[in-house]
Every structure is written in structure tokens, then in C-alpha cells.
């Protein structure tokens, strides 16, 4: 081997060993793969790579389809009692269409007098309706919090029911805004076989919501 | 021969520059810049203020309001003239530290003083590494609320499982066990298994715990709270995580609606008889809301805060998001220190979770009269023993 070819071999080795990472360092294992083959031994060592993987989610504002909301508001059959909740044309109308129940709440207060309030917020509004078995809290927001790219999305228009530690909730998107309707049990928390609201009842309550205010 | 010579020369050059070559994702850090900077080297990077005319067409960005900034083409910025400090009224004296910007180094050709890393003030397991046997967590480093204020005012806090922690229904010991406090590392318990059908999109399996449980204080404080029963404690202060409005107060929960993010924060198990807020109150981040307790609609749970965040997620809508990373970030801010992440230790075990038959796993594992009696009896015995053996306050 000549001097020059020896030099070339040395250089090639340098390229492989020094400049380019070894295969071990650039493993294509996903976190899930790593999880599967992780050593379960109870070693507690500092993880120096943690700082590099942190991401930050910053909320942004959604585009609201006001035309669709106004069309629905104009076309829906409004029961007489809904007029009491109509908050269209308010000077500082919320930044999302306001959805409210056609009736104050299915389970009325113990004295028969419904109690409710609507509170405009700078991202939308919320409304609270006091009931007997549960209180109902409606949230509407024009904020969007991004999620990581590999997160499987859901049908945003679908009514998604979840039980919670205080009762249940239904979430959905409409007119570009995010809505959450909470059913908060009064008194004790939901038991092992009994909640203060069933899925059918909660979904029906949400389906009864009407557009009560637009910009 | 010439070919070998050419390859050899190129290779020597590559070898010489090897330490400077870095590829994305190679896991290696960039080398420190050399201390000696030769004459004629470019100056420091340009200022980070917005550029007034980025395209050189004479138009400025109306949003940045930078039309009056100079557009000096010289890449080496001039040193601003030193102005006299009007507070001391004397002439500029280079030797006077007050006139020399507190002695800061303004010479761009000298290396900056390395910043000391913040001290480690707590340790935590990675997001999604739940207590062994408690379910499958979500491995997600996203900080969903980067500006959040830690929900405990100034006491030590220990996020972790209540059910699988000492004193919980799936473990042994009393809730005031010293191993729940002190130097115990933090643990995520978002997505921890629950018996009820609490499904949430961000958890890999159904029947999930939708928040983060946080023990607060010390073992001694815990024993004091137990000893003072049936009085409810006002020992550890709970504060608003974000500026907003107290939207709703239930029998054992408080909803805080965040003004800026649109997030909903739910606080559970506070001393509901000593809340410092009322419905519709406006609060600033860090304002006192109430005190750590065990209220759970009649039947008590362990002394802890159950903390939830619901965010309006893109393509999903309002849903529970993992609070853990936001808690880590906000605790680091509160303590002016940093958390040290521990390597994943038990993921393999946790992912093989099988729910036990006939056991109703709920928040705090205190759900029936029988569980209550058992819990009280065990706790009384352990606390009695612990009181005799422990004279060291934490």
C-alpha cells in the first residue's frame, strides 16, 4: 500500500468513525419501540436528553364562521322561552356564537325557579345553569391549542361524551369554535355504577342547544 | 497515483475539520467557539429587534413600527456612545462601575461569561412513566400551558399517584408515609387506571385518570392535618394557575376559566368551607383560592390536590390535557431551579397493566363504607407507630 492510499484509508475511517454518527447513535427506534424494549430494572439515572425534547403549545385564535351562525340563528324555530336568553345585538357580543338551552335546564332547581348566568369572556363566553341533580356549564372558545403532528384527530363536529370525576361532559366544535358542556353532579361524586347524568341525557341536552347570540 | 493524492488531500481536510461537522440528529453538541478570534472576523450577530426594511424596497412593516431604525449595511454594529448616568450627575468615568454599566463586558470580541446552570431542586420521572402497575401513560413532552403558575403557593409539592402511592388503596402504609414526601421524585399520573369509563382522547387506554394528583407539604404537616380531624386544614395554600374568572364552585371542585388561553382549570378536594374565592370572582395568576384538604362530596379522600387542565385542542376540541409538563415548568420557575429528569424505569411493567377484578378504582380509592373503615383502621395504626418512631421534622 502506498503512502497515499494509506492516507485515503485513514481519512475514510475518520469519516465513518468521527464525522458521521455511529448507527447506535442514530437509531430509528421510536419512543414506543424504546418503551417496548426498555429495561425494567429500577435504575434512576438523570436523563440528559430531556431538555432537547420539550415542546411548547401556544394557543391561537380560530376563524369563526359567523355567516353560518347567523343563518342558523335566523332559521331556527325559537321557543318563546328562548327569547329570555337571546343576547344578539349586545354591544360587546362574545367572540363565538352563543349556544344556550331552549329550556333553562332539564332538571330545574328544587324550588322550580331556574338559575342561570351568561358571562362573556375575551375568548368567548360561558354560561352556568343550576339544576337539582346536576349543574350545567357551557363553554364556548375561539382559542385553538395546537397538538403534535402525529396526534390522530377526531371528527370535530361529533358530540364526544366523557364521564368525569365530577359528572360528565360533552365536547364538540361548531362554526369553528370549541364548545364544552359540563354536567357537574350536585353532592356526592359519581358512584361505581351510577352517574347523575346518562350519556343519552347529556347528548340530548347538547342537541337541544340553540344559537342564542351572534355578531 | 494522482487520484489517491486527491482523495488523501480531501480526506485530510475533512479529518481536520471533523469536530466542526455536525449533522441534524446526530446527538452531538456543537463545539465551543474558539477563544481567539482573528482580526477581520465578522462581529457579533445583528440585534434581534425587528428589521425595518427586510426586502430593501423602502417599505416597512406597519406592525413592527421600526421605520425609524437605522439601516446600516455594515455588519459590525457600532458601539453606542456611553451616556452619562443622570442619577449621579458626574462626568463619565470609565473606572466608575456605575458609569460602566455595572462592569458588564461590552466588547464583542471577548467571549461571554458562561452562565451557571440552575441548581437541581427536584427530580421527576419522564411524562407518561406512571407508577408500576397503574396503567399506561402518555409520553408527551409538550408543555401545554407554558406560562402557567404552579398551583401551590410556596410549599413543597409532590405530584404522583394517590391510589398507588403509600396510603392509597392499591398500596400499603398511611398517606403521611415519609416516602410520599421529602426527596421523592415526581410521577405523572394522568391516564392512570380508573374503574369508571372516563375515556379521554389523549390517553392511550380507556378508563383514565383525567388530571394530576399533587401531595403538598411535609409528613409532619400531613400528620397535623390528620390529628386535627374533623377540622379541615388551612395549612397549604392553593393559587390560581392563570388569570381568569372563578367560573363555578361545586361541592368538591372549583372551575377557573383562564382569560388568555381559554383553558379550564379544575381544582378538587380543597377545604370547601374555607375557600378564598366566590363564583364570578376575577383572579390574577397566583391569587389565593383556598387550602389543601380531602373534600370529596362527603366521603373524604387523601389530602391532596387533584388538578386538571382542559384545552381547546386543534382537531379534537375541548379535552383534558396532561398537566405534568406544565407543572414541571412552573415549579422550576417558582423555585428558580430545575428538575432533573430520571430515566424511564418501569414503562415495560406499566404497559402490561391488567385491571384487578372486583376492585373499584376511584379517586383516592375511598368509595364505600367498607373501604372507609379499613382505611381509617390501617391509618390509625400506622400513624400511631410513625408518631413514636419519627421525631425528626421535615
Which tens digit of pLDDT belongs to each residue from B153-209? 999 999 999 888 887 777 777 888 888 899 999 999 999 988 776 778 899 988 899
Q: In chain A, positions 98-137, which contact chain B (CB-CB < 8 Å)?
A: 117, 119, 121-124, 126, 128, 135, 137
Interface contact flag, A123 B318, Cβ < 8 Å? no
Q: Span A39-67, mean pLDDT?
A: 68
Q: Span A179-198, mean pLDDT?
A: 86
Closest CA relative to residue B225, chosen from B320, B120, B304: B304
Between the two ends of chain A, the Cα-to-Cα distance in Å is 83
Using an 8 Å Cβ cutoff, are B108 and B121 in contact?
A: no
Q: Span A179-190, mean pLDDT?
A: 90
**CA dist., res. B327 & res. B313, Å (int):** 19
Which tens digit of pLDDT belongs to each residue from B295-319? 998 788 889 999 999 999 988 999 9
Q: Which residues contact B151 (CB under 8 A, 6 or more apart)?
A: B214, B238, B239, B240, B241, B265, B267, B305, B307, B327
| pLDDT for position B335 | 97
Q: Which residues of B touch A123 (CB under 8 A)?
A: 259-262
| pLDDT higher than 70, residue B118 | yes
Q: Which residues of B touch A129 (CB under 8 A)?
A: none
Residue B292 vs residue B132, higher pLDDT: B292
Question: Structure pTM?
Answer: 0.68
Q: Span A131-152, mean pLDDT?
A: 89
- Asked if B370 has any chain A CB less than 8 Å from its own CB, the reply is no
Nearest CB partner across the interface for B141, out of A18, A53, A163: A53
| pLDDT higher than 80, residue B289 | yes
**CA dist., res. A85 & res. A78, Å (int):** 11
B183 to chain A, minimum CA–CA distance in Å?
13
Which tens digit of pLDDT belongs to each residue from B48-71? 333 333 333 444 333 333 333 333
Torsion of CA B106, B107, B112, B113, to 10 degrees: -70
Map residue B9 onto helix, strand or coil.
helix
Closest CA relative to residue A120, chosen from A144, A146, A94, A152: A94
A209 to chain B, minimum CA–CA distance in Å?
17
| pLDDT for position B359 | 52
Q: In chain A, positions 15-74, which contact chain B (CB-CB < 8 Å)?
A: 15, 18-21, 25-26, 31-32, 34-47, 50, 53-59
The strand pair at A55-56 and B142-143 is best described as: parallel
| pLDDT for position B366 | 41
Nearest CB partner across the interface for A165, out of B4, B126, B306: B306
Interface contact flag, B250 A166, Cβ < 8 Å? yes
| pLDDT for position B182 | 92
Interface contact flag, A47 B259, Cβ < 8 Å? no
Q: Which residues of A touch B299 (CB under 8 A)?
A: 188
Amino acid at each position: 500500500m502506498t503512502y497515499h492510499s494509506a492516507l485515503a484509508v485513514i481519512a475514510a475511517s475518520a469519516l465513518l468513525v468521527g464525522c458521521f454518527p455511529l448507527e447506535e447513535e442514530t437509531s430509528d427506534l421510536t419512543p414506543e419501540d424504546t418503551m417496548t424494549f426498555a429495561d425494567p430494572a429500577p435504575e434512576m439515572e438523570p436523563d440528559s436528553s430531556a431538555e432537547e425534547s420539550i415542546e411548547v403549545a401556544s394557543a391561537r385564535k380560530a376563524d369563526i364562521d359567523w355567516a353560518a351562525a347567523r343563518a342558523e340563528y335566523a332559521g331556527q324555530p325559537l321557543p318563546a322561552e328562548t327569547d329570555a336568553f337571546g343576547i344578539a345585538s349586545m354591544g360587546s357580543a362574545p367572540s363565538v356564537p352563543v349556544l344556550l338551552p331552549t329550556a333553562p335546564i332539564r332538571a330545574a332547581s328544587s324550588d322550580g325557579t331556574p338559575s342561570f348566568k351568561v358571562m362573556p369572556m375575551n375568548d368567548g363566553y360561558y354560561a352556568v345553569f343550576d339544576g337539582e341533580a346536576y349543574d350545567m356549564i357551557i363553554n364556548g372558545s375561539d382559542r385553538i391549542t395546537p397538538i403534535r403532528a402525529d396526534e390522530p384527530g377526531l371528527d370535530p363536529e361529533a358530540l364526544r361524551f366523557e364521564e368525569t370525576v365530577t359528572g360528565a361532559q360533552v365536547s364538540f366544535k361548531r362554526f369553528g369554535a370549541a364548545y364544552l358542556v359540563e354536567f357537574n353532579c350536585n353532592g356526592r361524586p359519581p358512584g361505581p355504577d351510577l352517574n347523575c347524568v346518562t350519556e343519552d341525557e347529556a347528548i340530548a341536552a347538547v342537541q337541544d342547544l340553540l344559537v342564542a347570540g351572534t355578531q | 497515483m494522482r487520484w489517491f493524492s486527491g482523495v488523501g488531500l480531501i480526506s485530510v481536510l475533512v479529518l481536520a475539520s471533523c469536530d466542526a461537522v455536525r449533522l441534524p440528529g446526530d446527538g452531538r453538541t456543537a463545539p465551543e467557539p474558539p477563544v481567539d478570534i482573528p482580526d477581520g472576523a465578522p462581529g457579533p450577530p445583528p440585534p434581534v429587534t425587528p428589521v425595518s426594511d427586510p426586502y430593501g424596497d423602502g417599505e416597512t412593516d406597519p406592525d413592527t413600527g421600526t421605520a425609524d431604525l437605522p439601516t446600516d449595511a455594515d455588519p459590525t454594529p457600532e458601539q453606542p456612545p456611553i451616556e452619562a448616568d443622570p442619577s449621579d450627575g458626574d462626568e463619565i468615568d470609565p473606572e466608575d462601575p456605575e458609569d460602566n454599566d455595572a462592569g458588564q463586558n461590552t466588547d464583542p470580541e471577548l467571549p461571554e461569561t458562561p452562565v451557571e446552570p440552575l441548581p437541581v431542586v427536584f427530580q421527576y420521572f419522564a411524562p407518561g412513566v406512571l407508577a408500576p402497575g397503574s396503567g399506561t401513560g402518555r409520553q408527551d413532552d409538550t408543555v401545554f400551558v407554558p406560562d402557567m403558575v404552579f398551583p401551590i403557593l410556596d410549599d413543597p409539592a409532590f405530584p404522583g399517584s394517590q391510589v398507588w402511592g403509600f396510603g392509597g388503596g392499591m398500596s400499603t402504609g398511611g398517606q403521611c408515609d415519609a416516602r410520599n414526601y421529602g426527596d421523592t421524585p415526581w410521577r405523572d399520573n394522568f391516564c392512570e387506571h380508573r374503574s369508571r369509563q372516563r375515556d379521554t382522547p389523549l390517553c392511550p387506554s380507556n378508563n383514565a385518570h383525567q388530571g394530576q394528583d399533587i401531595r403538598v407539604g411535609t409528613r409532619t404537616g400531613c400528620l397535623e392535618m390528620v390529628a386535627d380531624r374533623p377540622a379541615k386544614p388551612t395549612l397549604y395554600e392553593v393559587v390560581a394557575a392563570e388569570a381568569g374568572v372563578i367560573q363555578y364552585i361545586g361541592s368538591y371542585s372549583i372551575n377557573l376559566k383562564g382569560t388568555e388561553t381559554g383553558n379550564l382549570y379544575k381544582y378538587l378536594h380543597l377545604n370547601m368551607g374555607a375557600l378564598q374565592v366566590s363564583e364570578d370572582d376575577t383572579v390574577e395568576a397566583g391569587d389565593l383560592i383556598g387550602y389543601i384538604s380531602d373534600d370529596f362530596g362527603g366521603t373524604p379522600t387523601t389530602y391532596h390536590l387533584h388538578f386538571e387542565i382542559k384545552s381547546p385542542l386543534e382537531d379534537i376540541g375541548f379535552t383534558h390535557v396532561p398537566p405534568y409538563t406544565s407543572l414541571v415548568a412552573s415549579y422550576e420557575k417558582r423555585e428558580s431551579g430545575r428538575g432533573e429528569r430520571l430515566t424511564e424505569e418501569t414503562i415495560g411493567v406499566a404497559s402490561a397493566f391488567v385491571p384487578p377484578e372486583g376492585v373499584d378504582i376511584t379517586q383516592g380509592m375511598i368509595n364505600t363504607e367498607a373501604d372507609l373503615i379499613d382505611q381509617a383502621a390501617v391509618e390509625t395504626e400506622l400513624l400511631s407507630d410513625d408518631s413514636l418512631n419519627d421525631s425528626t421534622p421535615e
